[in-house]
Amino acid sequence: MKKISVFTSGGDAPGMNACLRAVVRTALFHKLEITGILHGYDGMIKGEFIPMNAKSVSGIIQRGGTILKTARSAEFMTPAGMKKAKENLEKNGIEGVIAIGGDGTFKGALEFSSICSIPFIGCPGTIDNDLIGTDFTIGYDTAINTVVEAVDKIRDTAESHDRLFFVEVMGRDAGLIALRSGIGSGAEAILISEAKTDMEQLIRHLKDGRKDKASKIVIVSEQEGTGSVMKVAEEVKKALPFYDIRVSVLGHIQRGGNPTCMDRVNSSRMGFSAVEALMDGKKSTMIGIINNKITYTPFENAVKHLDELHPDLVGMMKILAL
């Protein structure tokens, strides 16, 4: 193997740049030529290949987002789009590709492998932490720390006005951001995608809770079973009109910001291992870290997990919220 490419795809996540930096410098150490592909699969189709060297990735380990840009490509999921991507990889002499992204990125690479023999290795870049095959995905630690910091500030104003705040966090299909950040911020309740919300139980919990609490925080995973955070807040307001209720949607601030040390180190380990996996002949495989050890999970198994999340953490949260 003499030449490889790297790209970022799907939603951006803090730590993608750290992973990219590790990929480029590890490739150069092994005397491999490396190019970056701009705008994910869309750039692969359009031929947006750029040469990369050690200087290309200088000063980026602390930056959120991705210097290679990212995009979702509907065209790539068509036979014509995949054919263009294959032709561009071959035209540029690419012998291996490292994809930094999430579930959709790996599904695309797996399908692409049916028409293209060039091996793909994946690094799990998604703040949702919803992939099987790694304890923590790239960006997850930064995202939950961002949420906790924001909720700490919200609680200051909540306590000043004796208010009940509903705070919506990301996690349309997985509630791991809500669960961990809710515990970390001392939330009174956490509503997650994996469990249908019992509004009667929530209302009873808020009504019967300690009366001397100056503030109450409820963390809501976006678009969870009962509906939007606004709908949940409205139902609680109808049942408990004496509460001064406010809603805060954190939105895309959870994707941005400087990655934490944990995300920088994990991302670097994954990027380093991805290059070595390509050189060892692996393909259609996601790099992960489980129990602090590098692991390899086939793309077909590295899918979103929608199972019940950490019942021990849920049980602990209920006790600590008393």
Report helix angle 199-208 to 229-239, nearest 10. Answer: 60
- The single residue of 103, 128, 141, 263 carrying the catalytic annotation is 128
**Is 128 an active-site residue?**
yes
CB atoms within 10 A of CB 81: 19
Gyration radius of the chain's alpha carbons: 22
Catalytic residues: 128
